[in-house]
Amino acid sequence: MEESSELQSEENKVSNEKNKKRKLKTPAQLLALEKFYNEQKYPTEEMKSELAEELGLTEKQISGWFCHRRLKDKRMMKDEAVANGRQDRSSGVIQDRGSGLGQDSCGSSKHADYRYLDPKEVESHGLYNHEIPVADMAHGHRSRYPENVSEVDETSSESSSFLQERLFSQGQDPYDMEHSRHLTPNGSLPPLNPKGAINMGYKPSGYLKVKGEIEHAAITAVKKQLGRHYLEDGPLLSIEFDPPPPGAFECQSADPANEPYCVANPPLLNSPEISAAKRQPSHSSRYDSYYTKFSSQDSHMEGADFGSLHESDFQEKQDKKARQSTKQRQAFYGYTNHFPGRNSFSDLYEDSTGEASGYNSTKNHRMSTKQGVEGMRSDSASNHSDHYEEKKLAVKQKDLMLHGYDNINPKNIQRSENVKSKPSSSIRRSRVPVDTEERGLSARMAKEEMIKGDRKAKTTYHDVDGAGMLSNEIMVAKRAKVDLLQQYHVKQSSLTEMEPRKIQRSGAEMPSSFSEDETAETSSSRDY
């Protein structure tokens, strides 16, 4: 007995020493976790296990991460709710939300703060919005059913841009979204959490009891706000790709002063007809920023060969930048993530590699609001076909959800130039044995660990976010300057070999804003 306890303490000691210092998740791990989280807020044991295996983490870590992630969501939701509450008071949008449920203090001490929503009500369907105004929350229970997705969208207004960000950033691919939200990688219904399963037999309780009223009022308010046709039973908003009507980019609100987002990005927020894919938030989390890293890389890859640009360094810089930017966007932390459907591991795969153009639509749409507008202006219409192709591709990749980590391998990034011409190749490659994937991931992680060691010495990559947010749309505009960029990259590459860090810094300070943001900006602004 004593011996065993001693042994145990010994083990604990070892274990404690092992875990004495908390270990940050690698970007790849975070990316995968976020992806998965977007798809499943409450992963099943199997999922956790699989995820743990894939990421080289323990199930405990996975569980813990998800737990904290959910808490984080709640915090953000709460903060956003507070912020939005104030905003609504001034904007008058969806006021009923505040009057109705906002003050509904269910009294429950533990969950009172989050009375807006029982995460389990909506989580499994990726509609677990950060800041879900009560009115929007009212949709929570319905959001577990696909046909109601669009309604959720429509209840969100610019006042809840955060919600939109989440919704639309997640829903670049409505088809996909629809598909995967309800299908696990196995093709079965997404495993709701045990409680969630129960919730399927939904019985309104608490604030949900009054959801009907709120919901209606909210919808009405949004309708008013939108001033346009309200799709009640039609397809998902994001499915429609009708070209934006004239004036779609104009703020429809009579009081733009109270709608900062509207000012910044009118179409993104006020035009339900605009593809959700277009409505990408400018605010993103650290993770999102990280996503953009890949996006950025993709963009670079498309325009010029960045393979020589020490991708690891670049990545790390971006990661660092992402972290920095997080602070500035705390209030808008969003998930920026995609609809669950889009967030399969195949997406991760694409994310990480930048290989498949399919995800370009996702991450590229995670552009700044300004960029979003410009992107749409520049060639949103012309990209419809691309989007469609991407969707098809994404759907095909559904069954690959849990098998794409090998593609995180940086090597793949260098192949990204071939992506557009060989989208299917990425799919094929994703069907590699798990062990291979794990090796790839491990290699990647190892590399990242190495990178971390070097992190301190690196400088911030300025405006990487901007670069990362580069969208397909912007890419079109950007390509107009591809020659210029190539010239620059060539120079940079050569210089990088000589003095990587220094060059990268300068490259970040000057050109990132020039070659990415400004390029896209100026290009698109020229269009108008």
Residues that bind DNA (CB under 7 A): 15-16, 19-25, 30, 42-43, 45, 60-61, 63-68, 70-72, 74, 110-111, 113-114, 119-120, 193-195, 198, 285-287, 320, 323-324, 326-327, 330, 452, 455, 460
From the CB of 337, what's the least distance to DNA, in Å? 13
Residue with tokens 């989580």: 123
Residue 120: Cβ-neighbour burial (10 angstroms; 0-12, 13-18, 19+): buried
In the bound state with DNA, the residue whose beta carbon lies nearer, of 246 and 453, is 453
In the bound state with DNA, the residue whose beta carbon lies nearer, of 15 and 103, is 15
Alpha carbon distance 237, 399 (integer Å): 25
From the CB of 192, what's the least distance to DNA, in Å? 9
The 8-class DSSP code of residue 460 comes to: P
In the bound state with DNA, the residue whose beta carbon lies nearer, of 36 and 42, is 42
Tell me, what amino acid is at 317? K
Alpha carbon distance 44, 306 (integer Å): 39
Q: Mention every residue, 6+ apart, whose C-beta is less than 8 A from residue 163.
A: 129, 130, 131, 132, 133, 136, 156
From the CB of 68, what's the least distance to DNA, in Å? 4
From the CB of 474, what's the least distance to DNA, in Å? 24
In the bound state with DNA, the residue whose beta carbon lies nearer, of 308 and 324, is 324
Tell me, what amino acid is at 423? P
From the CB of 275, what's the least distance to DNA, in Å? 29
Contact 167, 140 (CB under 8 A): no
Angle at 341 between CA 336 and CA 344, to 5 degrees: 90
Contact 55, 62 (CB under 8 A): yes
Q: Mention every residue, 6+ apart, whose C-beta is less than 8 A from residue 487.
A: none
Question: Which of 373, 356, 347 minimizes the C-alpha distance to 274?
Answer: 373
From the CB of 101, what's the least distance to DNA, in Å? 16
Alpha carbon distance 63, 351 (integer Å): 23
From the CB of 289, what's the least distance to DNA, in Å? 10
Tell me, what amino acid is at 271? S
Alpha carbon distance 527, 521 (integer Å): 10
In the bound state with DNA, the residue whose beta carbon lies nearer, of 74 and 398, is 74
In the bound state with DNA, the residue whose beta carbon lies nearer, of 12 and 382, is 12
Alpha carbon distance 98, 94 (integer Å): 8
From the CB of 326, what's the least distance to DNA, in Å? 5
Alpha carbon distance 122, 148 (integer Å): 12
> What are phi and psi for residue 70, nearest 5 degrees?
-65, -40
From the CB of 488, what's the least distance to DNA, in Å? 25
In the bound state with DNA, the residue whose beta carbon lies nearer, of 201 and 246, is 201
From the CB of 108, what's the least distance to DNA, in Å? 8
In the bound state with DNA, the residue whose beta carbon lies nearer, of 327 and 428, is 327
Q: Mention every residue, 6+ apart, whose C-beta is less than 8 A from residue 245.
A: 273
In the bound state with DNA, the residue whose beta carbon lies nearer, of 70 and 481, is 70
In the bound state with DNA, the residue whose beta carbon lies nearer, of 68 and 86, is 68
Residue with tokens 């409680």: 195
